[in-house]
């Protein structure tokens, strides 16, 4: 079950004994409004003008806290920096191999695949993650040579 608003998330943190600071509130609000699956550095760059004393370490520590509290998902893709997603609904990601853009898309959960994995391996399946890789329309446009009218 996902947390649908910043106020619900803040309430959940308070119930877990986490003191709410202006920085925590700003980080959580930024994540819940973001559709870009930002990295910790991107969050820092966006918030540092309003919080000049906040460090990158503060961002990382709070992101870890939010992940442990189940408010945010950490997305790791190979060697790239982790990205963070506050949308906890069942959804999948399409990832551009050129620019790294991540786009959410909703599709019925692949529960049949989970059942098959459980039957074949004997695992108790707790979930799955699927990414689709390709090239986004912006990158395709950049790499497509202009056709001349001659």
Q: What is the mean pLDDT of residues 30-36?
A: 91
Task: For CA atoms 22, 26, 32, 38, give the dihedral sign.
Answer: negative
pLDDT tier at 143 (50, 70, 90 boundaries)?
Answer: confident
Q: Residue 150: its pLDDT value, please?
A: 46
| Residue 146 pLDDT exceeds 70 | no
Residue 2's pLDDT is: 43
- The whole-angstrom separation of Cα 3 and Cα 89 is 9
Distance CA 110, CA 114 (A): 7
For the question of whether the overall pTM of this predicted structure is more than 0.75, the answer is yes
Q: Return d(Cα 121, Cα 137) in angstroms, integer.
A: 38
Band of residue 77 on the pLDDT scale cut at 50, 70, 90? confident
């Amino acid at each position: 079950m996902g947390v649908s608003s910043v106020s619900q998330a803040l309430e959940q943190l308070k119930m877990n004994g986490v003191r709410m600071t202006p920085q925590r509130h700003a980080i959580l609000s930024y994540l819940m409004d973001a559709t870009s699956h930002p990295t910790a550095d991107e969050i820092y760059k966006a918030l540092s003008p309003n919080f000049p004393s906040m460090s990158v370490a503060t961002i990382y520590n709070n992101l870890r806290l939010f992940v442990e509290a189940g408010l945010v998902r950490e997305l790791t893709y190979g060697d790239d920096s982790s990205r963070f997603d506050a949308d906890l609904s069942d959804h999948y990601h399409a990832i551009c191999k050129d620019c790294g853009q991540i786009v959410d898309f909703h599709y019925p959960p692949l529960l049949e695949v989970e059942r098959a994995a459980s039957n074949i391996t004997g695992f108790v399946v707790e979930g799955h993650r699927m990414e689709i890789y390709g090239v986004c329309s912006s990158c395709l446009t950049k790499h497509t040579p202009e056709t001349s009218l001659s």
